[in-house]
């Protein structure tokens, strides 16, 4: 059986099994908390089950060993050997280890508060809905889904179940990124005029799931271009109202139908600010954000890698200390889920849904060659 058949059988099997910080963080990732919504859980630990034990989940699990308010408390995988190995390594008892067929049983596991879904994009919708119906909070890796319709289904399911849905936007807690956001809010750059986001690398193994439309939902835009989309929004501080885009494909064998290789896209904002962005799986050395306003500028390069992020503004170098992104993210998400804290830059399902609407519009613009209007609310 070919790798493509194996991946598709795996996808079909999983879909078929679906049910229809005690104080403000030193990284300033949270806005002032609502006193009425905090206090009851301060000091408690967020107990997280990791779903999909691949390379990024391993990075998250290792980073969580340094968390003050979050710990690995459950595991969900289709590979029994991984459940055994990870369970031993991270101290997860057998009763809190699940596979994709039986993880609905987390409903009866009092030692799990939330599930972090770290699986291929096309699986997110059904898995998040199952977790919500089991009564657990959800953290979902970005992109939240493969299109806005699926994302809306997820937002609605979590709302119906009375659980919170967060998206793994680690950059929303990164210190230098937050300093640029703070400066923009303080008016240090004046009226924002232009943003540029360059995101890309040469992707390797042609057989990986990220190059399979059925699992990834697209190509570079879904995986890496979303950083420029999301970054344009939090750097400029507005929601875009239109998008144009152009697609280039030089290797149709590696990048099959529906899997984008390189897309250039432009965003327009209500104030008149514009963004010019590049998303690619065919070029290295692309990880840069640049923004300019009437009174100053900000540059982050690297802007979205695992760190350390480096940056400067018209006032000089950014010197905030580096800390492991996933450690900060999980501690701050504990504050959001347990204490009702409000992050400076949102990480909820509605935030993820906005990015999906923009992705849908970018693909439509590539297809039609025309400008797409956006209404993100």
**Are 163 and 75 in the same domain?**
yes
Residues near 203 by Cβ (< 8 Å), separated by ≥ 6?
210, 211, 220, 281, 282
Q: Does the residue 155 lie in any domain?
A: yes
Question: What does each of the 377 residues of the chain score in pLDDT, given as a tens digit?
Answer: 444 444 445 444 444 444 433 333 444 466 544 433 334 455 699 999 999 999 999 999 999 999 999 999 999 999 999 999 999 999 999 999 999 999 999 999 999 999 999 999 999 999 999 999 999 999 999 999 999 999 999 999 999 999 999 999 999 999 999 999 999 999 999 999 999 999 999 999 999 999 999 999 999 999 999 999 999 999 999 999 999 999 999 999 999 999 999 999 999 999 999 999 999 999 999 999 999 999 999 999 999 999 899 999 999 999 999 999 999 999 999 999 999 999 999 999 999 999 999 999 999 999 999 999 999 97
Residue 330, in any domain of the structure: no
Q: Which of 178, 179, 223, 174 is nearest to 324 (CA)?
A: 174
Q: What pLDDT score was predicted for residue 6?
A: 45
Same domain assignment for residues 218 and 310:
yes
Question: What's 218's DSSP letter?
Answer: S
Is 329 among the domain residues? no
Per the structure, the complete domain to which residue 187 belongs is given by 172-320+349-373
Same domain, 48 and 190: no
Question: Scanning the structure block, which residue is given the tokens 């699926």?
Answer: 150
Q: According to the model, what pLDDT value does residue 59 have? A: 98
- Count of structural domains, the chain: 2
Q: Is 137 exposed, middle or buried (0-12, 13-18, 19+ CB in 10 A)?
A: buried
Give the Cβ contact number of residue 250 at 10 Å.
9
How is residue 223 annotated by DSSP? I
Kindly state whether residues 217 and 146 are assigned to the same domain: no
- Cβ(172)–Cβ(147) below 8 Å: no
Residues 127 and 209 occupy one common structural domain: no
Question: Does the N-terminal peptide bond of residue 321 adopt cis geometry, omega within 30 degrees of 0?
Answer: no
Which residues are CB-contacts of 47 (< 8 A; sequence separation ≥ 6)?
Answer: 70, 71, 73, 74, 111, 112, 113, 114
* Number of Cβ within a 10 Å radius of residue 229: 27
User: Distance from CA of residue 4 to its chain's centroid?
Assistant: 26
Active site residues: 142, 227
Same domain flag for 212 and 125: no
Q: Residue 267 corresponds to which tokens in the numbers above?
A: 């965003």
The verdict on 206 and 155 lying in the same domain is no
- Cα-based distances in Å from 204 to 96, 151, 196, 254: 35, 28, 26, 10
Question: Contact at 8 Å (CB) between 279 and 267?
Answer: no
Cβ within 8 Å of residue 120, ≥6 positions away: 11, 52, 209, 215, 216
Looking at the structure, tell me whether residues 176 and 138 fall in a common domain: no
The answer to whether residue 47 sits within a structural domain is yes
Domain check: are 177 and 140 in the same one? no
Q: Are residues 128 and 261 in the same domain?
A: no
Q: What is the dihedral of CA 12, 13, 14, 16, to 10 degrees?
A: 80
- Residue 298 forms part of a structural domain: yes
* Domain harbouring 363, CATH code: 3.30.360.10
What pLDDT sits at residue 42?
A: 59
Give dist(CA 231, CA 177) in Å, integer.
Answer: 9
Q: Which of 170, 189, 215 is the last residue of a domain?
A: 170
* Domain end call among 139, 170, 201: 170
pTM as predicted: 0.91
Task: Give domain status of residue 341, yes or no.
Answer: no
Q: 261, 264, 267: which is closest to 235 by C-alpha?
A: 267
Q: How far is CA 368 from the centre of its chain?
A: 28
Q: 3-class SS at 155?
A: helix
326 located within any domain: no
Per-residue pLDDT of 352-368, as tens digits, reads 999 999 999 999 999 99
Q: What is the pLDDT of residue 26?
A: 40
DSSP output for 264-310: EEEEE-TTS-EEEEEEESS-SSEEEEEEEESS-EEEESS-SSSS---
26 lies in some domain? yes
Question: How high is the pLDDT of residue 21?
Answer: 33
Q: Give CA separation, 258 vs 47, 155, 220, 356, 358, in Å.
A: 38, 25, 11, 16, 17
Confirm if 311 and 235 have CB atoms less than 8 A apart: no
Amino acid 143: pLDDT: 98
Alpha carbons 319 and 101: distance in angstroms, whole number:
47
User: What's the pLDDT score for residue 315?
Assistant: 98
The pLDDT value given to residue 43: 63
Domain match, 144 and 181 both: no
Neighbours of 126 (CB within 10 A): 21
Please provide the DSSP assignment of 344-373 as one string: SS--BHHHHHHHHHHHHHHHHHHHH-S-EE
Give, in order, the Cα–Cα distances in Å from 151 to each of 18, 100, 336: 16, 21, 20
Examine the fold and report which residue of 170, 202, 233 is the final residue of a domain before the chain moves on.
Answer: 170
Q: How far apart are CA 72 and CA 65, in angstroms?
A: 8
What CATH number corresponds to the domain at position 166?
3.40.50.720
Positive/negative CA dihedral, 148, 149, 151, 155? positive
| 157 lies in the same domain as 183 | no
């Amino acid at each position: 059986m070919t790798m493509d058949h194996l991946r598709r059988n795996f996808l079909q099997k999983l879909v078929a099994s679906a049910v229809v910080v005690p104080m403000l963080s030193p990284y300033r990732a949270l806005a002032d908390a609502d006193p009425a919504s905090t206090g009851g859980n301060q000091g408690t630990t967020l107990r997280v089950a990791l779903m999909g034990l691949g390379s990024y989940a391993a990075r998250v699990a290792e980073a969580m060993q340094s968390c003050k308010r979050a710990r690995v408390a459950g595991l969900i995988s289709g590979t029994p050997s991984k459940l055994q190995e990870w369970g031993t390594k991270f101290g997860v008892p057998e009763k809190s280890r699940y596979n994709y067929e039986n993880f609905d049983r987390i409903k009866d596991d009092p030692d799990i508060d939330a599930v972090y879904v770290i699986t291929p994009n096309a699986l997110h919708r059904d898995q998040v809905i199952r977790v919500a119906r089991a009564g657990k909070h959800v953290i979902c890796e970005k992109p939240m889904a493969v299109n806005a319709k699926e994302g809306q289904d997820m937002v609605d399911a979590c709302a119906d179940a009375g659980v919170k849905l967060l998206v793994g936007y680690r950059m929303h807690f990164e210190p230098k990124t937050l300093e640029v956001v703070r400066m923009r809010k303080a008016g240090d750059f004046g009226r924002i005029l232009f943003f540029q986001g360059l995101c890309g690398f040469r992707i390797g193994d042609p057989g990986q799931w990220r190059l399979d439309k059925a699992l990834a939902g697209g190509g570079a835009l879904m995986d890496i271009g979303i950083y420029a989309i999301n970054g344009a929004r939090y750097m400029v501080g507005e929601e875009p109202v239109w998008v144009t885009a152009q697609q280039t494909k030089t290797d149709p064998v590696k990048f099959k139908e529906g899997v984008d290789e390189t897309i250039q896209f432009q965003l327009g904002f209500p104030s008149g600010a514009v963004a010019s962005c590049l998303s690619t799986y065919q070029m290295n050395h692309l990880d840069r954000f640049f923004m300019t306003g009437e009174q100053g500028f900000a540059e982050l390069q690297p802007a979205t890698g695992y760190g350390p992020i480096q940056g400067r503004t018209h006032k000089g170098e950014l010197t905030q200390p580096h800390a492991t992104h996933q450690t900060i993210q999980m501690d701050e998400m504990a504050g959001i889920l347990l204490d009702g804290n409000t992050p400076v830059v949102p990480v909820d399902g509605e935030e993820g849904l906005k990015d999906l609407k923009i992705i849908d519009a970018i693909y439509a613009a590539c297809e039609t060659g025309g400008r797409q209007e956006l209404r993100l609310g």
